Structure 1
Amino acid sequence: MAVVVLDNGAYTAKVGLATQDEPKVVPNCIMKAKSERRRAFVGNQIDECRDTSALFYILAFQRGYLLNWDTQKTVWDYIFSKDGIGCSLDNRTIVITEPQMNFQSVQEAMLEMLFEEYRIGGMYKATAADLAAFNYVADSEERTTMQTLNCIIIDVGYSFTHIVPFVLGRRVLEAIRRIDIGGKALTNHLKELISYRQLNVMDESHVVNQIKEDVCYVAEDFKDAMSVHQSEQRRKEVAVEYVLPDFTTVKRGYIRVPGQPRYDEDQQQMVPLCNERFTVPELLFNPSDIGISQVGIPEAVADALQACPWEAHRELLLNILIVGGSAQFPGFLPRLKRDLRALVPDDLEVSLICPEDPVRYAWYGGREVATSPNFDEFTYTRYDYEEFGIHGLQQR
């Protein structure tokens, strides 16, 4: 039977069989809408909801770790049903991801649920950064193997951003850095800005997340960008009007194009946005803007580099791979390269790689793992679980 690959993220789960070309992306939560109070929407069932205003989210992950097991089981039941990928986990092997530095109690709970509730035949557990590194090797045109890989993975996730260096194919544990900023914090900050300046959208996480994806970008020079209000011309270049959905004629919001009005546009509610467009993603570079006393991504990368063997620094800086949903902001790569260039030695080159699909990149790595020739040697089987429990998996 084909191996199941599940990149179990805090915001979305990417899941599919290792024989498939691409995964299914499923919201990893239960949602309740005001318009249909009797029904809870699980995963992609939210597409059936006519009015997604004031959506209430019940998340499986809290602060980046899987803690709500009832919610997670409900989502997994949906994923492995006919509406999901159409196959059960019974006696199958699964490749599944977990957060960096995961708590042992969470690992034990996951192991117990998969083997006891879903009756899997075996499992291979890794972090999203591990799978991204494996996929990076598979995509490499040079003759790089996992044993010779030197790279830095920047995983800009939903709850955290992780910087994970790999030297000779292994994670340098003492060099891993975590910043408590991710897509969730950016959406919440944008909600607050719009609510204080325009209209109350504190209950509209779903809509504000779409606004963030549609209008936000990273400013290459933040101080220069903040002078946008000093001239009318510059303000016009940045300012946009966002048409909010009314869920009757407009199902999803969009940026209003001056001079090209859509049908019935004058009667729709709009939100004017200006410096919010670049001040929200700026949190990835300056978390202190919202009172988080941590450094930004460039400083965290430079600090992680110092904890790695100096012989690997040149190759590490030439192979910086960026994955995760928030890596898709326009201008993110040039800004990160500029800031990082100022923090590392002048004689070392800096090269950033962002794949076309940073959200599903780790899943493709899981597929590469599952189809590798010696995959069976690394799986933790039902026999191993019954014989050794959690301790055998940690040794493996």
Structure 2
Amino acid sequence: MAPPPTVILDNGAHTMKIGISSFDTLPRLVSNAIIRGKNDKRLYVADEFDDCKDFSSLFYRLPFERGLLVNWDIERTVWDRVFKHVIRLEPKESRLLVTEPCFNLPKIQDNYDQIIFEDYQFQACYRTIAPELCLFNEVGGLFGDKLGSVPDCTLIVDSGYSFTHIIPFYKGQAIAQGIRRLNVGGKLLTNQLKETVSFRAYDMMEETHIINEAKEKCCFVSMDVYKDLEICKKPFRQNSVIQEYVLPDFIHTTAGQIRHPSSNENQRQQSKDQQILMMNNERFMIPEILMRPSDIGIDQAGIPEAIVQSVSATDSSMHGLFYANIILVGGNANFPGYKERIEQDLRQLVPSEYDIRIVVPIDPVTYAWEGGDRFISQSSKSELSRTFVSRKEYLEYGSEICRKKFGSIMI
């Protein structure tokens, strides 16, 4: 008898990555929110947001708050839409591999189990954290080592929507005392850019989508902040940092775009009615918060310093191995210069006898989902039965069997 299909759901606070193992080569990226358009008054649930044409003043209802899933009414609405219209699979006839946040609260974990087994009635479920799934990929190949090899010690830096987590793994198991959480993620950066732009140019406090898009297209991580700040003081023609970002008008354009510096005067004259956002030092000072949260009053270390703290909390014999096997995942890993800056700052903090190797996967956003797919496809039936909790087991033992099988990283 063929095993039931396995739905892999990397349930991110901003974007969920979902697909069917061994069927989908890549996951479908879906907004994990209910979004209301200001002008058309329409509600967009999950993948329906792809039909939106006017992104002005959108109102978001999110199931996650401060990185924890607290509104199950919204989440159920999103899951209903996704299961029925995106993957088009009946939960009762399938298994579920779902990710949860690090340091998830026991009560919220119980809610996961109850809704998955009692409401959706999945045949079996495995709940884990996204960084753990990353380890099932060809990790050795990322570093140029022998394909199929997995380092005993691996440090995952997961910088996503709500938080940045730094997690050291030894032989696939997270070392709890070495885990560090930074209260800095993509949401904070977008909000900070909204405030900065609203103070310097236009009132953009309600334009979350537009500003988030501008952040993703224009921002980068500086290798020398003070040098770039000096460049930003120069006149427009001599300023190599400044960019003109053309805001969408939702009549002719639905997405913002960077206007090339070489645009001739005719082109500039034709676009005189367009709203131009001048992106100057915002381009690198916003992502700089990842490296120095204290710049905006957050009393925490930046990513490079937090990596050192994380490694220092492990056994001294492992330090060199952790520094030599650092993987950067999450949406913030897409910033140009992100990897190079972390490597540069680490070199100043780490003893010279240690090599530093840092890699970013081809797609750091879907890397955890890809690891989950690889885990399901390469595991035997008996291995999966030991890992997953069946609905029969849950109905007999309740959430206790889930806590026993899945484990949890507690604060």
- What's the TM-score bracket when you normalise by the shorter of the two chains? over 0.9
Q: Could you tell me whether the CA contact under 8 Å between 2:233 and 2:239 is conserved in 1?
A: no
1:393 to 383, 402, 406: 402
Deviation at 1:59, TM superposition (A): 0.4
The one-letter amino acid of 2:9's match is L
1:269 has 2:269 as partner = no
Alignment coverage as a number of residue pairs: 393
1:101 has 2:103 as partner = yes
Q: Could you tell me whether the CA contact under 8 Å between 1:30 and 1:57 is conserved in 2?
A: yes
The residue matched to 2:136 in structure 1 has which SS? helix
1:235, 1:292 → 2: CA distance?
Answer: 34
Deviation at 1:192, TM superposition (A): 0.4
Q: Could you tell me whether the CA contact under 8 Å between 1:243 and 1:255 is conserved in 2?
A: yes
Mapping of residues 238-249 of structure 1, within 5 Å: 238-249=241-252
Deviation at 1:149, TM superposition (A): 2.4
Mapping of residues 82-121 of structure 1, within 5 Å: 82=85, 84-121=86-123
The one-letter amino acid of 1:98's match is E
Map of 2:355 onto structure 1: 349
Deviation at 1:253, TM superposition (A): 0.4
TM-score by length of 1: 0.96
Map of 1:54 onto structure 2: 57
In structure 2, the CA distance between the partners of 1:41 and 1:233, relative to structure 1 (3 Å rule), is: closer
Map of 1:40 onto structure 2: 43
Map of 2:7 onto structure 1: 4
Deviation at 1:2, TM superposition (A): 1.5
Where in structure 1 are there 5+ consecutive unaligned residues?
Answer: none
1:226 has 2:229 as partner = yes
The residue matched to 2:356 in structure 1 has which SS? coil
In structure 2, the CA distance between the partners of 1:352 and 1:138, relative to structure 1 (3 Å rule), is: closer
Deviation at 1:135, TM superposition (A): 1.7
Map of 2:34 onto structure 1: 30
The one-letter amino acid of 1:284's match is L
Deviations 1:309-366 (A, max 9, x none): 1111111111100000011000111110010111111100101010110000000011
Deviations 1:155-183 (A, max 9, x none): 00100000000112210001000000000
Deviation at 1:142, TM superposition (A): 2.5
Map of 2:409 onto structure 1: none
Deviation at 1:91, TM superposition (A): 3.2
Q: Could you tell me whether the CA contact under 8 Å between 2:221 and 2:337 is conserved in 1?
A: yes
Deviations 1:3-55 (A, max 9, x none): 11000000100000002111100010010011121x21011212222211000
Map of 1:307 onto structure 2: 313
The one-letter amino acid of 2:249's match is D
2:233, 2:199 → 1: CA distance?
Answer: 22
1:138, 1:76 → 2: CA distance?
Answer: 34
The one-letter amino acid of 1:251's match is T
Q: Could you tell me whether the CA contact under 8 Å between 1:228 and 1:275 is conserved in 2?
A: no
Map of 2:408 onto structure 1: none
- Supply the RMSD in Å over aligned alpha carbons: 1.7
The one-letter amino acid of 1:126's match is T
In structure 2, the CA distance between the partners of 1:249 and 1:230, relative to structure 1 (3 Å rule), is: closer
> Identity over aligned residues, as a percent?
39
Q: Could you tell me whether the CA contact under 8 Å between 2:140 and 2:147 is conserved in 1?
A: no
The residue matched to 2:371 in structure 1 has which SS? helix
The residue matched to 1:237 in structure 2 has which SS? coil
2:367, 2:232 → 1: CA distance?
Answer: 39
Deviation at 1:87, TM superposition (A): 1.2
The residue matched to 1:322 in structure 2 has which SS? strand
Mapping of residues 264-303 of structure 1, within 5 Å: 264-303=270-309
The residue matched to 1:266 in structure 2 has which SS? coil
Map of 2:323 onto structure 1: 317
Deviation at 1:266, TM superposition (A): 2.3
1:119, 1:138 → 2: CA distance?
Answer: 37
Q: Could you tell me whether the CA contact under 8 Å between 2:197 and 2:204 is conserved in 1?
A: yes
Deviation at 1:90, TM superposition (A): 1.3
1:375 to 384, 387, 393: 384
Where in structure 2 are there 5+ consecutive unaligned residues?
Answer: 406-411
Deviation at 1:251, TM superposition (A): 0.9
Deviation at 1:133, TM superposition (A): 1.7
The residue matched to 1:134 in structure 2 has which SS? coil
2:240, 2:344 → 1: CA distance?
Answer: 23
Map of 1:124 onto structure 2: 126
2:122, 2:149 → 1: CA distance?
Answer: 30
Q: Could you tell me whether the CA contact under 8 Å between 2:67 and 2:162 is conserved in 1?
A: yes
